[in-house]
Amino acid sequence: ANLAVQLRHALANGQLSLYYQAKLSIDEGRVVGVEALMRWHHPELGEISPAQFIPIAEDNGMIVPLGEWALETALQQLSEWDALGLPPLHMAVNLSARQFNSPDLRKQIKSALTNSGIAAHRLELEITESLVVQNPDTSIALMKKIQGMGVRFALDDFGTGYSSLGQLRHYPIDTLKIDRAFVRDLAISREDQAISKAIISMGKTLGLTVVAEGVENVDQLNFLRSYQCDHTQGFYCHRPAPAGQFVSWYRQHL
């Protein structure tokens, strides 16, 4: 059978899991939150990247039940970490366009919050610019309703060219994530330095928390720190890991 068909059974067959990647404050190196990232362990093909299966799940609609499972599982996990007495973290969960446009979204968010007992402000939903610009008015209205529940929004992969800087101020977001395309060559590219600096400065002027993603080395980190970026995420500080491994690592970073 093809991947699309197999994906329909992956959840019931226990082949999906969530990995967690830390976000750290850039000045103190304190862990402030985690992003939940879906993984598919295929019995014959091994690990299949979400970059490959998320688009398939978007196409066949499976992203809606998968996304609901991710939201439930991530918040349940967070409440388990709370119960262990670990200092509270924020949990970021990615939402793709089809989930965002699903009529069940608000109900799913409410029930995941209620079932886990997690306060709404600790949940951050990551959406992309491309999702918002498809339907700006409707998207902004829905985001405002969800924000009214206390949930936060992050604009993921920012700067890859969908929205003008002018539009950004109309988006009800709390966090801006600089796309890793601008971070990759930060140590050698004057252009990427200028762009990153500008995104950080604009984000902060708008009162947003600015996160750099894809930080893989200390040079990139030092540039971002000198531009006063707030948070860092990337392989340099922490690679996405299963819950158990994340907790062991987190305990050593308190």
Binding string, 168-197, against ligand G, x = CB under 6 A? Answer: ------------x-----------------
Query: Residue 64 carries which side chain, given as an amino acid letter?
Result: V
**Binding region for ligand G (CB under 6 A) out of 1-9, 101-109, 138-146, 213-221:** 213-221
Our finding on whether 240 is near ligand G (CB under 6 A) is yes
Distances in whole angstroms, Cα of residue 220 to Cα of each of 83, 179, 240: 35, 13, 19
Buried b (16+ CB within 10 A) or exposed e, 172-197: bbbbbbbbbebbeebeeeeebbebbb
The interaxial angle of helices 50-60 and 3-10, nearest 10 deg, is 90
d(CA 20, CA 223): 25
Residue nearest to ligand G (CB): 234
Q: Which is nearer to Na ion, 71 or 176 (CB)?
A: 176
Binders of ligand G among residues 145 to 164 (CB under 6 A) are 156-157
Name every residue whose Cβ is closer than 8 Å to that of residue 233 and which is 6 or more positions away in sequence.
21, 22, 23, 24, 35, 177, 211, 212, 213, 214, 215
Length of the chain: 254
Count of residues engaged in binding Mn ion, rule: CB under 5 A: 3
- Which among 136-144, 186-194, 198-206, 233-241 is the span making contact with ligand G, rule CB under 6 A? 233-241
Q: Does residue 68 touch Na ion according to CB under 5 A? A: no
Quick one: 69 or 140, whose CB is closer to ligand G? 69
Which of 1, 5, 12, 51 touches ligand G by CB under 6 A?
A: 51
Residues near ligand G (CB under 6 A): 21, 37-38, 49-51, 54, 67, 70, 94-96, 126, 156-157, 180, 213-216, 234-235, 240
Q: Which residues bind Mn ion (CB under 5 A)?
A: 94, 126, 156
